[in-house]
Structure 1
């Protein structure tokens, strides 16, 4: 996903952590949650729940739009309050798939990251390692895909 260069820095920063949380394995988010002390109280506002969204595309990337198909999405919205937060915050998540616990934990961390007093700590201790792990997973996929590359070439011969 490309970010708009004119977007405010806060929007770009939130897009960064939302991407890391959505792509992270549930186990990694669960481990980060278990390490967090003290834990705020978490109140579910919506979900977690799973539904469908319509994926739209364009002909030749710039032509007419068409409905390509549906994708399963899980979402959650939570309110966090109490220590270590300065004030009540709301966290939200939307991610592909049906993992409701992943959606809940991603919403919790989105709320925690919305708190200015916790943000730098969580960016360093949670988001940074999640991004590093994603880079490693991406590289492993690239290496695996590269190992299956077949180099086809054609030799043209003239027959006399």
Structure 2
């Protein structure tokens, strides 16, 4: 599983849901914060039509954190990083903790199957539901041709 995919899923999942699923796994390592959590800004860039020249769209609030595992001889010093949009230090810290734990071989499969896969399925279901709702409100316009 790619780290970028895991980071994306964890960042898009609401903190309450992530906390609930993480607690169910029963993984409780001790860790220390290496950096943050810190709240800052990030520049968001865009492209016209998705392919044009890049331009600065604006700034957004971002929270980041880095943690190191401290309780397991195998995981000693393992670093994890987390980023989330908005101002939620606990969310960023939890993502960093999951990232650090997922880098350990003995926890990687458990985290993938017990945390990331169900969260991804829930995000996909919500995306599909929003798509169905939007499709139900879609209006098709057509042009009438005058007969001459």
Give the TM-score, by structure 2 length: 0.89
**Distance in 2, Cα, partners of 1:37 & 1:61:** 42
Q: Give 2:94's match in structure 1, choosing from 98, 101, 105.
A: 105
In the aligned structure 2, how far is the partner of 1:145 from the partner of 1:78?
Answer: 40
Is residue 31–residue 71 contact of structure 2 (8 Å, CA) maintained in 1? no
Determine the C-alpha separation between the residues in 2 that align with 1:32 and 1:74. 21
Q: How far apart in 2 are the matches of 1:134 and 1:49?
A: 26
C-alpha distance in structure 2 between counterparts of 1:158 and 1:49, whole Å: 66
TM-score of the two chains, using structure 1 as the length reference: 0.83
Of 69, 74, 78, which aligns to 1:86? 74
Instruction: Indicate how the Cα distance of structure 1 residues 60 and 25 shifts in structure 2: closer, same or farther if over 3 A, else same.
Output: closer
User: Are residue 26 (structure 1) and residue 15 (structure 2) matched?
Assistant: yes
In the alignment, is the contact (CA less than 8 A) between 1:48 and 1:74 conserved in 2?
yes
Count the aligned residue pairs. Answer: 147
Q: Shift of residue 61 of structure 1?
A: 4.0
- Residue by residue over 1:75-133, the C-alpha shift from the partner in whole angstroms, topping out at 9 and shown as x without a partner, is 111111224x7222111011211121111111110111011111011100000001000
Q: Cα–Cα, structure 1 residues 60 and 144, in superposed 2: closer, same or farther, change >3 Å?
A: closer
Shift, 1:39, TM fit = 1.1
* Deviation, structure 1 residue 58: 3.6
CA contact (8 A) 1:72 1:96 kept: yes
Q: In structure 1, what is the Cα distance between the partners aligned to 2:27 and 2:139?
A: 53
> Where does residue 56 of structure 2 map in the other structure?
67
Is the CA contact 2:39–2:89 (under 8 Å) kept in the aligned structure 1? yes
Check the 8 A contact 1:86/1:117 in 2, yes or no.
no
CA RMSD in angstroms comes to 1.8
| Unmatched segments (≥5 aa) in structure 2 | none
Q: 1:51, CA displacement in angstroms?
A: 0.8
